[in-house]
Structure 1
Amino acid sequence: MGHHVLVGNPPVELCLRRSPRARRISLRVSGLDGRVTLTVPRGVADSEALEFARSRGDWLRAQLAGRAESARIGYGVHIPLEGQVMRIAQGAGRRIIPEGDQLLVPGPAEMMAARLQGWLRARARDRLATVSDRYAACLGRRYTRLALRDTRSRWGSCSSTGALSYSWRLIMAPPEVLDYVAAHEVAHLAEMNHSAAFWAVVARLLPDYAAPRAWLRREGAQLHRYRFGD
């Protein structure tokens, strides 16, 4: 993958990727990290691909300008918890406590972000294990393990050996969105594909899955705004 800069105001960094399967030149702006990828079919010169990108410079800059700014975790910052917007505030005692519209985090300020991230991961694991267990029992299937990740490319996965993996950031989404991702991945224990039979299994586990699926496609990238470290 080659790197190029599209001159302009502001300049735009491009990752040029050659693909033998691509049928035409295409541009994609990642909703997760704003990376711009210029995909080029076999036999097309770099100069032609870059001219294509230049011709769409205004569109590219508009896409990048529309992305939400990242938010570094700190006191006073608002963060979603299970779909409810919470304000992070200094807490007392030893435990992190959600109280009304505040998330009370005790301890030294320099440890707060790491401590909050650990608390969110633990809450995500509890919730995801509970719903995964319930859905797996409904199907009469078992998964082999459950792991949490912070992947930007996918919200969950199910391996051929029955290992489930989820993004811990799902705990920030509305509960039905987390439920949908769990139903989706557990359904792969029965159907390791995305056939009509697979979607029938998802519908059996979560009949109204269309709405949370649409939310995730529309709003999911926003969950990656929140930075808990450098």
Structure 2
Amino acid sequence: MGQHILPGNPPVALILRRSPRARQISLRVSRLDGRVTLTVPQGVPEATALNFAHDKESWLRKQLSAQTQMIQVAVGDDIPFAGDMRRIVAGTGRRISLTEDTLAVPGPGDSVATRLQAWLKSQARDRLAAASDRYAAALGRPYTRLTLRDTRSRWGSCSSQGGLMYSWRLIMAAPEVLDYVAAHEVAHLAQMNHSPAFWAVVAQLYPDYERPRQWLRRYGTDLHRYRFNT
């Protein structure tokens, strides 16, 4: 893997990746962070790949210009919580306060993002644990542990040892989306695959799963717009 620059205004950084599985050259723009990956089959000269990227420059710049703007979280911004947008405002006291319209975060301005992220993770753990407990009890199969991460490629996972992992950003989505992901991962305690038998278990735990599933496919990446690190 190497990095190259496509000249222009502005220049575009390309990450060149060799892949033994690739059958043709391809360009991909990440919806999460805008990174551009140029995938090249083994044996194809680097110059050929870069010429391909140059030929696709118009398409590439159009894709980059359409990227969703990233938001560095701060007082005055709006962020989603449990499916509803809340305005971040300066708070008083020691604890973050939630209303129908706001998230009041006390402390210095440069600590707001860090404090808010920690609070969101705490809320996510409580709600995901409650949902996981509920579905595991209904299924009659306990899980062994629950961990939170800031994953990009998946919203949750279930290990062969019965450990559940979730993205803490699910707390920003509507409650039914969080519940669906919990039901999905708990279903893996019975079926470690995505066979028809697995989806039958999901339907048993969460009958109307298709709507939140489609929401995640269409809009889930928007939850990664919000940056909490400076």
TM-score by length of 2: 0.94
- For 2:44 and 2:107, the matched residues in 1 are separated by 57
Deviations 1:171-223 (A, max 9, x none): 01111111121122111111111222222222221122121111112111111
Secondary structure in 1 aligned to 2:95? coil
CA distance in 2 between partners of 1:207 and 1:55 (Å): 48
Q: Structure 1: any 5+ residue segments left out of the alignment?
A: none
2:7 aligns with 7
Query: Alignment length, in residue pairs?
Result: 230
Does the aligned pair in 2 maintain the 1:6–1:54 contact within 8 Å? yes
Quick check: 1:10–1:61 contact (8 Å CA) kept in 2?
no
Residue 149 (str. 1) matches residue 152 (str. 2): no
Aligned equivalents of 1:33, 1:102: Cα separation in 2: 27
Counterpart contact for 1:68–1:225, Cα < 8 Å: yes
* Distance across 1 between alignment mates of 2:54 and 2:127: 46
- What is the aligned-residue RMSD (CA, Å)? 1.4
Runs of 4+ displaced beyond 4 Å: none
Deviates more, 1:108-117 or 1:131-140: 108-117
Pairing 1:209–2:209 present: yes
Residue in structure 1 matched with residue 68 of structure 2 by the alignment: 68
**2:197 and 2:134 mapped to 1: Cα distance?**
20
Partner SS for 1:184: helix
Q: Please say if residues 20 and 42 of structure 1, whose CA atoms lie closer than 8 Å, have aligned partners that are also in contact.
A: yes
3-state SS in 1 of match to 2:80: strand
Residues 29-51 of structure 1, C-alpha deviation per residue, up to 9 Å, x if partnerless? Answer: 11111111111122222222222
d(CA) in 2 for partners of 1:184, 1:59: 37
Residues of 2 paired with 1:38 and 1:70: CA distance? 23
CA distance in 1, matches of 2:3, 2:122: 38
> Hey, what's the Cα distance between the residues in 2 that align with 1:48 and 1:199?
44
Pairing 1:100-139 to 2, within 5 Å after superposition: 100-139=100-139
* In 2, Cα distance between equivalents of 1:9 and 1:119: 40
Residue in 2 aligned with 1:59?
59
Of all paired residues, the percent bearing the same amino acid is: 67
CA distance in 1, matches of 2:158, 2:70: 29
TM-score w.r.t. length of structure 1: 0.94
Name whichever of 75-84 and 19-28 sits farther off. 19-28
Q: How far is 1:76 from its partner?
A: 0.9
